[in-house]
Amino acid sequence: MTDRLTSTSKFLSYVLRHRPDAVGVTLDEAGWVPVDVLLAALARHGRPVTPALLDQLVGNTDKQRFEVREGRIRAAQGHTIAVDLQLAPAVPPTVLYHGTVARFLPGIRVEGLTSGERTHVHLSSDLDTAARVGARRGKPVVLRIDAAGMHVAGLVLYRAANGVWLTRHVPPRFITLPS
């Protein structure tokens, strides 16, 4: 991804996940904003994005951070503001993974995985993705999550449009920590 594409993607993530007011837009209850409204607001705030660049961000990146439907856009997940992504509960695979770093393991042993400032804990269906996520903060540690056990215990999991699995909390008993 080019520097312009990366910086624009990060800024859009910031706006659509955390601070829509930074450019003067309001998200609806499900996190959507009309594309034309967003593009006009970005231009007014000195961060112009062309429709072609937006298409690249939505369709040509491996992270698929954004969804576009019926002329509207939203972040696929990762919000710190209250939105209802309107995802249906889903039956997860047997095992999911979470990438983190060693300094967080003491808290995870006690509290499990919590969403912190975000609305959901993010889980991956493969080791490589979890390792890449963990590597953003240092040397990655990948946790194995007993997703089938969570489901049987009545904990709800959702699958975002980009394949990321979401849940409110992963209790410690469903986490296998590295030895």
With respect to residue 17, please indicate whether it lies within any of the assigned structural domains: yes
List CB contacts of 49: < 8 A, sequence separation 6 or more. 8, 12, 39, 42, 43, 57
Average pLDDT on 3-17 reads 89
Range of the domain at 50: 3-75
Residue-wise pLDDT for 76-89, tens only, equals 888 889 888 899 99
Half-sphere exposure of 89 (CA within 13 A, CB side): 9
Q: What is the pLDDT of residue 76?
A: 86
The answer to whether the beta carbons of residues 172 and 111 sit under 8 Å apart is: yes
With respect to residue 85, please indicate whether it lies within any of the assigned structural domains: no
Whether residue 66 is found in the same domain as residue 104: no
Whether residue 50 is found in the same domain as residue 108: no
With respect to residue 86, please indicate whether it lies within any of the assigned structural domains: no
Q: What is the pLDDT of residue 74?
A: 93
The beta-strand segments (E) located in 27-174 are 33-34, 66-69, 72-75, 95-101, 113-114, 121-123, 140-146, 158-159, 165-167, 169-170
With respect to residue 44, please indicate whether it lies within any of the assigned structural domains: yes
Question: What residue type is 60 in one-letter code?
Answer: N
- pTM summary value: 0.80
CA–CA separation, 69 and 63 (whole Å):
18
Whether residue 110 is found in the same domain as residue 167: yes
Q: With cut-offs at 50, 70 and 90, classify the pLDDT of residue 168.
A: very high
List CB contacts of 45: < 8 A, sequence separation 6 or more. 22, 23, 24
DSSP 168: S
With respect to residue 111, please indicate whether it lies within any of the assigned structural domains: yes
What's the structural domain count of the chain?
2
DSSP 88: P
pLDDT at 105 over 70: yes
Q: What is the pLDDT of residue 39?
A: 95
The answer to whether the beta carbons of residues 171 and 112 sit under 8 Å apart is: yes
With respect to residue 31, please indicate whether it lies within any of the assigned structural domains: yes
With respect to residue 43, please indicate whether it lies within any of the assigned structural domains: yes
Whether residue 165 is found in the same domain as residue 121: yes
With respect to residue 87, please indicate whether it lies within any of the assigned structural domains: no
Whether residue 63 is found in the same domain as residue 99: no
Whether residue 99 is found in the same domain as residue 172: yes
Residue-wise pLDDT for 113-152, tens only, equals 998 888 899 999 999 999 998 998 899 999 999 999 999 9
The answer to whether the beta carbons of residues 120 and 168 sit under 8 Å apart is: yes
Residue-wise pLDDT for 19-70, tens only, equals 999 999 999 999 999 999 999 999 999 999 999 999 888 876 666 889 899 9
CA–CA separation, 4 and 8 (whole Å):
6
Whether residue 13 is found in the same domain as residue 66: yes
Indicate which CATH number applies to the domain containing 165.
Answer: 3.20.170.30
Whether residue 99 is found in the same domain as residue 166: yes
Q: Decide: residue 142, CB within 10 A, 0-12 exposed, 13-18 middle, 19+ buried.
A: buried
